[in-house]
Amino acid sequence: MACKFYLDKGRGKRTLSGHPWVFSTEIQGYDGEYTNGDIVEVYTAEDKFIGKGYINDASQISIRIMTRDINEEIDKEFFRKRLKDAWEYRKKVVDTCSCRFIFGEADFLPGIVIDKFEDVYVIQSLALGIDQYKQIIVDILVEEYGARGVYERSDAQVRLKEGMELKKGFLTEPFETMITIEENGVKYNVDIENGQKTGFFLDQKENRKAIHKICKDADVIDVFTHTGSFALNAGIAGAKSVLGIDISQHAVDFCRKNAELNNLEDTVKFECHDAFEILKELNYEKKEYDVVILDPPAFTKARETIRNAKKGYKKINFRGIKLVKKGGYLVTASCSHFMDPQSFKEAIYEAARDAGRLLRQVEFKTQAPDHPILWTADEESYYLKFFIFQVI
């Protein structure tokens, strides 16, 4: 019989409204015995059933709700249904050759991410409870979704908060971990073993496509280029010249290989520089581009540092705006969970004001729909903000 957990009276309103997390501070007590990772039942103080999920009292997020149906068992059939629902959704909304197959809480499988790269799948397990079902999920991917291989990238630091070790490696027979995918007509080498996160950022797929129309015959600079994805999309779209900048020489070398893969090495160039320093130097030289792209890593991963992060976004956008030719375009993004859309807008507005330029919004987008935003958990599932502006 499952252990029953009871919330403090008046607490857990988000959980009652559909949020999948129960924090340790919301729990009044429990009835029964449990081991961390077990499926437990959650009730209000008035003994009203809320849901079932896995427990880990070593984490501030003590319980993650898996189902609101008291009669639904958490077994292979449960995971088969969850994966099927996620796949049917993605077949409707995105190109599924390479896509995010499971996006944790937003796909009602809290604590796990699965990315599909052609017929290779990468799993990132972020919580103790879901870790115990990993082999079941791998079996389903092989049996029903044509997985040639499955690789684990459970090396995110958040696992340490769950009392778990970092790990990565093969979950099926070993295979070549450097694979090639195609997106928006651009080919990429993807290193699923050593690349960031699961090897490639799929969330900007539609945003990368959105820059095609402004990059034809343009001089483009892509700062924080990482894998070169925006730079290569600019090249494929017919840019006159493209310069990609990244602080990592390893990233720059990888980008150059991706340029060669697309026969763009004569048009799309990459250089290793500190982004803040090169932006400052280019401003001093009064260099100008038709399109300036700014896609930095997250400047904040905690609420306490939002103020400093906002200053950082203002600084790079100020520098970037000053590089744009009159009538040209600024492409700017934030992937920080805690940098809410309003704060990001304010940082850009203040940057434009200080640069003495006007912005005319062309597009505002978020992450691709294979990274769905669950409105009852939008703080966790909504993170990417993406703008295209004309700079006057």
When pLDDT is averaged across residues 115-134 and rounded to a whole number, the result is 97
Greater confidence, 1 or 207? 207
Distance CA 389, CA 371 (A): 24
**3-state class (DSSP) for residue 83:** helix
What predicted TM-score, i.e. pTM, was given to this entire model?
0.94
What CATH number belongs to 76-177? 3.30.750.80
- Give the pLDDT confidence score for residue 127 in this predicted structure: 95
Strands 178-183 and 268-272: unpaired
Classify domain 4-67 at the CATH topology level.
2.30.130
Task: For residue range 218-227, list pLDDT tens digits in order.
Answer: 999 999 999 9
- Give the pLDDT confidence score for residue 40 in this predicted structure: 98
Strands 167-170 and 149-154: antiparallel
- Give the pLDDT confidence score for residue 301 in this predicted structure: 64
Q: To which H or E segment does residue 118 belong? A: none
When pLDDT is averaged across residues 243-270 and rounded to a whole number, the result is 97
Nearest to 44 by CA among 64, 15, 1, 66: 15
Classify domain 201-391 at the CATH topology level.
Rossmann fold (3.40.50)
Mean pLDDT of the chain: 95
Domain spans in the chain, listed from the N-terminal domain onward: 4-67, 76-177, 201-391
DSSP state of 356: T
